[in-house]
């Protein structure tokens, strides 16, 4: 018998916030690319456009909303997934089968996606504000101001605009990130070639980030369009039809910047999480 450390329930939210601070500019550029009605700019062109019009700090528009989203969406999904996984996968039971990890990831991600929808919508709006003419900008001071103004001016229902899409996307990305990370890490350690160190964490999280990008990109595009809409879509199906008119590749608009953002975000999140677990986790007898 030996000792091991497991995460506290809130570590996932903290790790995700740390990663978001590093990758926010990539997320902002991704949102701008996805909300183009026609492809006018590529990734570097869009980034230069933002810097030219709003300065280098323009790349961090909506950071407060991004952090608010991580402390609602990511904290919830990590808390559900890691708590249940640690309860079910003890020393006697052994690791959970992959299909159970997938089901647990889907449930945790769906729940987290719903809870994080208001902050996610404000995040998209704040990031996209710099593209709009000055007279059409919403000019939220910060995330809480955005949440309050949406509630006051548009009603509670608007806060959960796109909740179905956000929840479904949350389920898919959590399966890609958490479930695939656990399975990849388990397989890598099972070879006996690598130990449980930062290189293993990097490799497993890189694989997980690629899986998550592939799974969630179509829904991510539709979620962004729904949340940023000003009434042009009557619902999810209408958004689906209008996006489909642009061709199949419209569902993968911004795939490269999405991967460039999501893969580093996934890698940083799990590296931060593993370090938090190593230094501040709960000691249990394995």
CATH code where residue 162 lies: 1.50.40.10
**For residue 162, how many other CB atoms are within 10 A of its CB?**
25
Q: Which residue has the tokens 């690319």?
A: 33
Residue 223 has pLDDT above 90, yes or no: no
Q: What is the DSSP letter of 152?
A: H
Structure tokens at 115: 């809870």
pTM for the complete prediction? Answer: 0.81
Contact between residue 169 and residue 97 where contact means Cβ atoms under 8 Å apart: no
Supply the pLDDT for residue 286.
62
Contact between residue 28 and residue 36 where contact means Cβ atoms under 8 Å apart: no
pLDDT in tens, 86-132: 888 654 567 889 999 999 999 999 999 999 999 988 888 887 776 77
Total of domains in the chain: 1
Structure tokens at 104: 């647990």
Task: Calculate the alpha carbon distances from 91 to 151, 194, 200, 263 in Å.
Answer: 47, 21, 21, 31
Supply the pLDDT for residue 2.
60
Structure tokens at 8: 């506290």
**3-class SS of residue 94:** coil
Look up the domain containing 136 and give its range: 3-285
């Amino acid at each position: 018998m030996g000792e091991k450390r497991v995460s506290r329930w809130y570590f996932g939210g903290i790790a995700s916030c740390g990663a978001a601070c590093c990758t926010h500019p990539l997320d902002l550029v991704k949102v701008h690319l996805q909300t183009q009605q026609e492809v006018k700019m590529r990734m570097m062109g869009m980034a230069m456009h933002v810097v030219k019009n709003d300065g280098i700090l323009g790349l961090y528009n909506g950071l407060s909303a991004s952090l608010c989203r991580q402390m609602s969406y990511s904290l919830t999904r990590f808390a559900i997934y890691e708590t249940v996984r640690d309860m079910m996968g003890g020393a006697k039971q052994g690791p959970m089968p992959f299909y159970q990890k997938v089901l647990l990831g889907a449930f945790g991600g769906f729940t987290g996606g719903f809870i994080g929808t208001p902050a996610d919508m404000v995040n998209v709006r704040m990031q996209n504000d710099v593209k709009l003419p000055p007279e059409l900008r919403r000019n939220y001071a910060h995330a809480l101001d955005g949440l309050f103004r949406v509630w006051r001016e548009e009603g509670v229902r608007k806060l959960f605009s796109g909740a179905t899409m956000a929840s479904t996307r949350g389920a898919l990305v959590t399966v890609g990130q958490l479930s695939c990370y656990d399975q990849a890490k388990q397989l890598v350690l099972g070879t006996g070639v690598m130990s449980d160190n930062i290189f293993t964490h990097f490799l497993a999280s890189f694989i997980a980030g690629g899986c998550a990008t592939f799974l969630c990109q179509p829904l991510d595009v539709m979620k962004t369009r729904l949340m940023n809409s000003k009434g042009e879509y009557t619902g999810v199906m209408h958004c689906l039809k209008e996006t489909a008119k642009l061709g199949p590749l419209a569902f993968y608009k911004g795939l490269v910047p999405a991967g460039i953002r999501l893969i580093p975000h996934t890698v940083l999140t799990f590296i931060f999480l593993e370090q938090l677990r190593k230094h501040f986790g709960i000691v249990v007898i394995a």
